[in-house]
């Protein structure tokens, strides 16, 4: 009798747990690697999940792959930082409710002795030109990410088609590229957030920063339910309102690593109200 009662209790607990899992909705979000690498998602997602009894599945990929997932309806929303690709995604009818979320910037990092004299550059394009002329290793993500898109724009502005042994196209995400750049004593373009999250792990300084061309805005976009009727549009819209509203914006503004702010809230005032 006692054994039967114990089995019934266990069965009831399992059923209750299974019911809780079944009752919880899932939201699929394709996002770039920088918010994940920096640790922002760990603090940004839980309040939304708790308030809405939802689990957010963050699919961390480069922007190009994130766009493909959105076009195919494999995710419900995108959290990106490649303006040209984002605009095309919306213009082509795949995305709706595009909203600014936050920004930081890109930086050029490299070895302490700076053999290409990047510190002397007056623009990002000039910095890249100096690297190409010196033929010092440049490690590129080469993965169609937002960082890679920005890198290509800078090479274009410099009038240079990077090629040769010094230009290393890796197909790797940002944290691995930073580590590889340090090991090879080369140069790379990095987002400031991921770089700062490496503070204390590598000894590789920022050699160039501050050019307007290095501005790095992030947006959130819902996948258009007219293109993909099965997506969780209402839930995606709730997330957009959260991340661009006071709670989400405050979490982003308060997020720091080693005392340094990595991202800056960028939702316009009328979106916060």
| Share of residues in the chain with pLDDT > 70 (%) | 89
**Non-local CB neighbours of 127 within 8 Å, separated by 6+ positions:** 108, 118, 121, 207, 208
Q: Quick check: 257 pLDDT over 90?
A: no
Residues 98 and 78 reside in one and the same domain: yes
pLDDT bin (cut points 50, 70, 90) of residue 268 is low
DSSP alpha helices (H): ranges in the chain?
A: 2-23, 33-38, 40-52, 63-72, 83-91, 124-134, 146-158, 174-184, 192-197, 233-243, 246-254, 269-272
Mean confidence (pLDDT) of the chain: 88
Q: Could you tell me if 147 and 174 are in contact, meaning their C-beta atoms sit under 8 angstroms apart?
A: yes
User: CA of 259: how far to CAs of 21, 39, 204, 232, 263, in Å?
Assistant: 37, 14, 19, 37, 12
Question: Which of 165, 186, 214 is the last residue in one of the domains?
Answer: 214
Range of the domain at 162: 106-214
Per residue in 193-220, pLDDT (tens digit) is: 889 888 778 889 999 999 999 999 999 9
Is the pLDDT higher at 81 or at 95?
A: 95
| Percentage above 90 pLDDT, the chain | 70
* Residues 151-203: tens digit of each pLDDT: 999 999 999 999 999 999 999 988 899 999 999 999 999 999 889 888 778 88
Is 177 found in the same domain as 117? yes
- The number of distinct structural domains making up the chain is 2
Domain match, 14 and 94 both: yes
Residues 14 and 100 in one domain: yes
Neighbours of 127 (CB within 10 A): 27
Domain match, 11 and 83 both: yes
Indicate whether 259 and 136 sit together in one domain. Answer: no
């Amino acid at each position: 009798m006692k054994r039967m009662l114990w089995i019934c209790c266990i069965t009831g607990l399992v059923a209750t747990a299974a019911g809780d899992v079944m009752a919880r909705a899932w939201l699929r979000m394709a996002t770039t690697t920088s918010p994940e690498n920096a640790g922002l998602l760990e603090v940004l997602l839980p309040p939304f999940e708790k308030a809405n009894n939802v689990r957010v599945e963050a699919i961390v990929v480069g922007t190009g792959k994130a766009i493909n997932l959105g076009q195919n309806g494999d995710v419900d929303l995108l959290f990106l930082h490649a303006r040209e690709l984002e605009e095309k995604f919306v213009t082509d009818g795949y995305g709706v409710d595009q909203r600014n979320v936050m920004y930081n910037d890109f930086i050029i990092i490299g070895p302490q002795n700076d053999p290409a004299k990047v510190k002397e550059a007056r623009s990002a394009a000039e910095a890249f030109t100096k690297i190409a002329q010196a033929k010092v290793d440049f490690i590129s993500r080469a993965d169609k990410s937002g960082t890679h898109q920005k890198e290509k724009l800078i090479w274009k502005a410099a009038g240079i088609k990077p090629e040769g042994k010094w230009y290393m196209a890796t197909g790797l995400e940002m944290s691995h590229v930073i580590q590889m750049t340090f090991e090879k004593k080369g140069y790379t373009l990095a987002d400031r957030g991921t770089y700062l999250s490496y503070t204390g792990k590598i000894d590789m300084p920022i050699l160039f920063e501050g050019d307007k061309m290095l501005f790095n805005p992030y947006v959130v976009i819902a996948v258009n339910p007219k293109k993909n009727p099965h997506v969780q549009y209402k839930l995606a819209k709730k997330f957009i309102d959260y991340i661009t509203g006071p709670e989400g914006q405050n979490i982003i503004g308060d997020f720091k690593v080693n005392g340094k702010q990595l991202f800056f809230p960028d939702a316009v005032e009328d979106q916060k109200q």
